[in-house]
């Protein structure tokens, strides 16, 4: 009896014929059994955990009945006991924290009882009064004269006329450069097609505060209305081509 098995090869119609479990015909080209789905499933599992952690630690701890300390930390044991995290283990949490390319989370032992706790480094919509942030001053050796806020071209008319809003978050997120810059860990989504450059020195001189998060994101609460007005824009740049703009280009600030 013949059993036909399909395997992954570098040519069209990759079929191998097996007779009595013995390969009798196969191309000499490089072939390998189909597989890899386990890796994709594992990757999607980590993505699901990362998103769940982001929601719980940035926005939803109180709604979920989790106790968040004033520094933003939640005990891992309590987190994993919640129904949303029942399918995950401590090893899963440790792996996601260690491999997260944007270093969104901090996992460490509580200084008093030694229990593991975890927090988001930035991105909160809830007030975290004791989040470890480093204030930026004009005489700091590493202060960025210019920082970048990533957004989307569909929002450009509103941003150009009104400024950048912190929206429902406690702070506006900025990066010290564009994605791909060695200095940039987080602070801008890869999908952004608009970069708005901020004159940090001018904003600080006018009393607007800036802070560094632990994962290198530049944060600001903006002015009293939670905005960075257009007067602090130094330039704006389209990052991705479109049918009308085939190359990156700088935009009119309309000042």
Mean pLDDT of 1-14: 41
Full-model pTM: 0.68
Which residues make up the CATH 1.10.10.970 domain(s) of the chain? 45-120
The whole-angstrom separation of Cα 181 and Cα 13 is 43
Residue 62: phi and psi, rounded to 5, are -65, -45
pLDDT at 129: 83
Mean pLDDT of 156-163: 96
Report the range out of 39-48, 85-94, 232-241 with the highest average pLDDT.
85-94
Mean pLDDT of 182-210: 85
- Confidence band of 42 (pLDDT split at 50, 70, 90): low
> CB-based burial of residue 179 (10 Å sphere; 0-12 exposed, 13-18 middle, 19+ buried)?
middle
Computed over its alpha carbons, how large is the radius of gyration of the chain?
25
Which of 36, 61, 174 lies closest to 127 in space, CA to CA? 61
The whole-angstrom separation of Cα 237 and Cα 7 is 47
pLDDT at 123: 85
pLDDT at 49: 96
- Confidence band of 69 (pLDDT split at 50, 70, 90): very high
pLDDT digits (tens, 9 = 90+) for 119-133: 998 889 888 888 889
- Give domain 45-120's CATH number out of 1.10.10.970, 3.40.50.2300, 1.20.210.10, 1.10.150.120: 1.10.10.970
88 and 23 Cβ atoms separated by less than 8 Å: no
**Cα separations (Å) of 100 from 51, 152, 184, 188, 215?**
11, 24, 14, 15, 11
**Tokens at residue 69, please?**
């300390």
pLDDT at 190: 78
- Confidence band of 142 (pLDDT split at 50, 70, 90): confident
Which residues make up the CATH 3.20.170.30 domain(s) of the chain? 134-251
* The architecture CATH gives domain 134-251: Alpha-Beta Barrel (3.20)
Q: What angle do CA 42, 48, 53 make, to 5 degrees?
A: 125
């Amino acid at each position: 009896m013949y059993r036909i098995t399909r395997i992954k090869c570098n040519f069209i119609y990759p079929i191998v014929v097996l007779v009595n479990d013995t390969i009798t015909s196969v191309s000499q080209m490089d072939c390998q059994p189909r597989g890899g789905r386990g890796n994709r499933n594992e990757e999607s599992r980590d993505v699901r955990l990362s998103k769940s952690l982001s929601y719980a630690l940035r926005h939803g701890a109180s709604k979920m009945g989790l106790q968040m300390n004033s520094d933003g930390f939640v005990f891992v044991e309590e987190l994993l006991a919640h129904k949303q995290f029942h399918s995950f283990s401590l090893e899963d949490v440790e792996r996601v924290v260690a491999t997260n390319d944007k270093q969104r989370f901090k996992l460490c032992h509580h200084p008093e009882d030694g229990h593991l706790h975890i927090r988001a480094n930035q991105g909160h919509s809830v007030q975290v009064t004791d989040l470890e942030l480093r204030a930026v001053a004009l005489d700091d050796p590493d202060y960025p004269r210019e920082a970048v806020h990533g957004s989307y071209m569909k929002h450009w008319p509103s941003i150009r006329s009104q400024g950048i809003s912190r929206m429902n978050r406690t702070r506006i997120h900025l990066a010290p450069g564009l994605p791909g810059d060695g200095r940039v860990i987080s602070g801008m989504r890869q999908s952004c097609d608009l970069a708005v450059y901020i004159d940090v020195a001018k904003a600080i001189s006018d009393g607007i505060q800036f802070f560094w998060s632990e994962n290198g994101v530049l944060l600001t609460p903006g002015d009293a209305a939670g905005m960075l007005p257009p007067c602090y824009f130094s330039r704006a740049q389209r990052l991705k081509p479109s049918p009308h703009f085939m190359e990156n280009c700088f935009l009119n600030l309309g000042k």
